[in-house]
Structure 1
């Protein structure tokens, strides 16, 4: 266990953190509930921001100001400055390890303009940017010998406390293959488990794995969560499937049209504004479409090949000749586990990075192209901080009681009755959240959602699993994911109800203006009380 770091999650943030810790001499183990190349990072299609100026004049200062403006007063300026100032160096590093970026005619990294940006700043690899970054990082991790434990579901964090502080000492996971609970000890743990927008079920662009497991586990361990109410809706998810059509399609010149064929908004405004404009059209009874036909067959096939394939596969339309029916869908969670500049939580030795964390760089509305940048910039920082903590950590302690608790809990869950189908309950939860906690919110409807979530939580013992097997029991892990989403769902609602204003992605129909007293981060801990901190 000497100099050991566990990284939970194998998306871009987790892999960068693992490489960073490995480079500093730590023994690193990456634990993931699926497989690294299936991580949500592969869905970040549009690009990664850096003020390189390869496609026209740009500056780091402009990047900083665009990010702060999009954040609606909710970002921490020092964190934003660090993010944007680090971007050129990060791009050089990614280029150096072999990410196959698209190129200009003179061989420079190609850049495109995304919503909210004052310049063409997003470096891209066709419309597969996140996927190609993810695969390159994974290849790098394998090449240097980092250990991967796949198909392990995070049950809880292992912690111990003295009179002054709580410390992390490892993780407890469920081996999905064997069905056994496993203890993995470490001096430092980095959570890179992604966001929680699958609480919206079929109204999310995210994979089914984005169930907030790391955020929920951190909360149970005593970590403070922050800004859970800020959930970004991507304007252009496909209508029937919620599969994402990248912002790169609008960045390339795509139009948004209503049923009458009218353009009704600035397609490159910040995402919260575009999503609300689309929602407004839908409330009028209009259907909304993305039109990229005028970009031409050659451009679409070369620059937007994934978007074309997805439209054909999931909507049955050929975007070279037809309109793509779209709707806004839950896409990115700006809030998460509160961390400081070193990616450290309030639990000693526990770090968080990527979408599960709140580094306070996105504020009330994330700027397109900044999520991939965040995972690399702060992934490096998290790995560095985790190794530095090893020297300060206490001896590891026995986790036997936690293991016995979860073994008994799993046995209990398998004995729950099946009076209520939790898959149907999750679908119902998603519909409630999309309607009551979505693009437009108001007090009464959110209180109705709170009552429903509490009712579901109180009847979990009637939502048993039909599969009693030990090995490969996906029915069990999906139940555990649903339980996490219910736990987080209540916390999201408490934060959204308490913020009695409109700001960025949080828009209250009954409080449509922003208020100075709410220009602060919401915090919530185990006492379930919402407070604010600048």
Structure 2
């Protein structure tokens, strides 16, 4: 029986776990947090699928490719969209409590960039309800969970270019642990937490899987493309779902005038809000006209979030909003079977680049992607493991990581890494955000490289072994700095504007030179970058 190690217990990881288990594999899910706390819970709006009516799968494919800014792979987009109806039926079979229309069918709403209402939803809790449903199914299947395991590195046979497992910090005990497996699926989420308080992401979204993958020899693709969600709460960056605009909400400027198409693609709406804030000083989301009964039935979470974090009631008040970093289109480059350039290492969900989102993700496609490709990745990883049994090859990775954890305790802590982390978040938001230019990007790159030099002087203050969250947060910060360099080098290289990557010094799209993917990797620790079709 093949052993499949899945790292990450959000939606992508849990779908993969169920698929690998169904294929006959022994499955272990390792995660730095508890499964129901993953970022999947923030995907509120719905899951795209064509379920009849006037809509067509061809339209879903066309909408997705158009939103991708020409960087989506049409074959993989077609695979996702064609499998979308079955993905919804599968979710329905395992118990996801979809909202229903008057006829008892799964309710659908239109989200930004879509030509028809095709986002199947469960009120405005779609991701959260999917996550709990998946976790229940995994528990019923008897899948093994190892929670509070922080990923340190992947174990790789460099001669064979094959993954052998991974090393983790067992947070409660402080011990380094090794888990060997025939195949590994990374489902560790994105890197939005790099933007700190300017992100809708939880602090857990620190890009640990991507950093470990690039250190292991995998390639990353399109890391410069980070989607900013148009409607985050002004003071907290808490997400207000696109479902609020899909239900008919308006965007108003400081003069309480509508100024843009609320259901245009996210990159267009986010930049329109950015420009309007600069001109009129504020932007608001208005759902008052939808009425209290509708809001409480369809948008209960959005009302509660506004009440808790802004102290206003959207039944009667305008919701002050701003764009915030939300979704990472870039990720680990994978092939059509979800496998990276390292044999046996698969990736799925936001940490992967399936080339379905390109330069800008279509609203409603994130949950769809993790279900469709999660089922595919789980089956393929189980198949690979069955065909390629694990060897007894020795690896020095476990000893290296034990020494690393011990060594970090001797770092001097002359510099407070929390202050540097906040600085990194602020300069990223201002210079690697909605609007970019060469001078600002190069200034950020200089700051990042200075941080890299200073890391040995930024160790954790807490020198204890048990439940040392200060240590975990320091290692997370190191991963953020590593990825930050890759993101900025990619953004500097792409001298054009496309989707979520907008450069005021190169405002036009250039298909002749940049209709290709930014690929980054490391050779002997040195960052390399190129453009590839």
Q: TM-score range by the shorter chain?
A: over 0.9
Q: Is residue 408 from structure 1 mapped to residue 407 from structure 2 by the alignment?
A: no
How big is the shift at 1:98? 0.6
User: 1:178 aligns to what SS in structure 2?
Assistant: coil
Q: Provide the C-alpha distance between the structure 2 equivalents of 1:191 and 1:35, rounded to a whole number of angstroms.
A: 16
Matched with 2:49 is 50
Matched with 1:64 is 61
How big is the shift at 1:396? 3.0
Q: Is residue 526 from structure 1 mapped to residue 522 from structure 2 by the alignment?
A: yes
Matched with 2:22 is 23
How big is the shift at 1:395? 3.4
Matched with 1:448 is 443
* CA distance 1:127–1:279, change in 2 (3 Å): same
How big is the shift at 1:41? 0.4
Report the TM-score when normalising by structure 1.
Answer: 0.98
User: 2:252 aligns to what SS in structure 1?
Assistant: strand
Q: Provide the C-alpha distance between the structure 1 equivalents of 2:279 and 2:493, rounded to a whole number of angstroms.
A: 29
User: 1:267 aligns to what SS in structure 2?
Assistant: coil
User: 2:224 aligns to what SS in structure 1?
Assistant: coil
Deviations 1:196-217 (A, max 9, x none): 0111111100011000000000
How big is the shift at 1:388? 1.2
Q: Provide the C-alpha distance between the structure 2 equivalents of 1:87 and 1:159, rounded to a whole number of angstroms.
A: 34
Q: Is residue 85 from structure 1 mapped to residue 87 from structure 2 by the alignment?
A: no
How big is the shift at 1:399? 5.5
Matched with 2:154 is 157
Aligned pairs (5 A) from 1:345-364: 345-364=340-359
CA RMSD of aligned residues (A): 1.0
**Kept after mapping to 2: 8 A contact 1:234/1:329:** yes
Matched with 1:515 is 510
Deviations 1:490-519 (A, max 9, x none): 000000000000000000000000001201
User: 1:525 aligns to what SS in structure 2?
Assistant: strand
Q: Is residue 36 from structure 1 mapped to residue 35 from structure 2 by the alignment?
A: yes
Aligned pairs (5 A) from 1:119-518: 119-162=116-159, 165-393=160-388, 395-397=390-392, 401-516=396-511, 517-518=513-514
Q: Provide the C-alpha distance between the structure 1 equivalents of 2:241 and 2:384, rounded to a whole number of angstroms.
A: 38
Deviations 1:231-271 (A, max 9, x none): 00000000111000000000000011111001110000000
Q: Provide the C-alpha distance between the structure 1 equivalents of 2:252 and 2:272, rounded to a whole number of angstroms.
A: 11
**Kept after mapping to 2: 8 A contact 1:29/1:149:** yes
Q: Provide the C-alpha distance between the structure 1 equivalents of 2:452 and 2:135, rounded to a whole number of angstroms.
A: 38
| Structure 2: gaps spanning 5 or more residues | none
**Kept after mapping to 2: 8 A contact 1:239/1:325:** yes
Q: Provide the C-alpha distance between the structure 2 equivalents of 1:153 and 1:130, rounded to a whole number of angstroms.
A: 23
| Structure 1: gaps spanning 5 or more residues | none
Q: Provide the C-alpha distance between the structure 2 equivalents of 1:175 and 1:399, rounded to a whole number of angstroms.
A: 22
Count of residue pairs brought into register by the alignment = 529
User: 1:107 aligns to what SS in structure 2?
Assistant: coil
Deviates more, 1:251-260 or 1:404-413: 404-413
How big is the shift at 1:161? 2.7
User: 1:125 aligns to what SS in structure 2?
Assistant: coil
How big is the shift at 1:392? 3.3
Q: Provide the C-alpha distance between the structure 2 equivalents of 1:358 and 1:395, rounded to a whole number of angstroms.
A: 27
Matched with 1:112 is 109
User: 2:85 aligns to what SS in structure 1?
Assistant: helix
Matched with 1:12 is 11
User: 1:391 aligns to what SS in structure 2?
Assistant: helix
Q: Which runs of 4+ in 1 moved over 2 A?
A: 391-401
Q: Provide the C-alpha distance between the structure 1 equivalents of 2:392 and 2:351, rounded to a whole number of angstroms.
A: 26
**Kept after mapping to 1: 8 A contact 2:254/2:280:** no
**Kept after mapping to 2: 8 A contact 1:183/1:399:** no
Deviates more, 1:457-466 or 1:79-88: 457-466
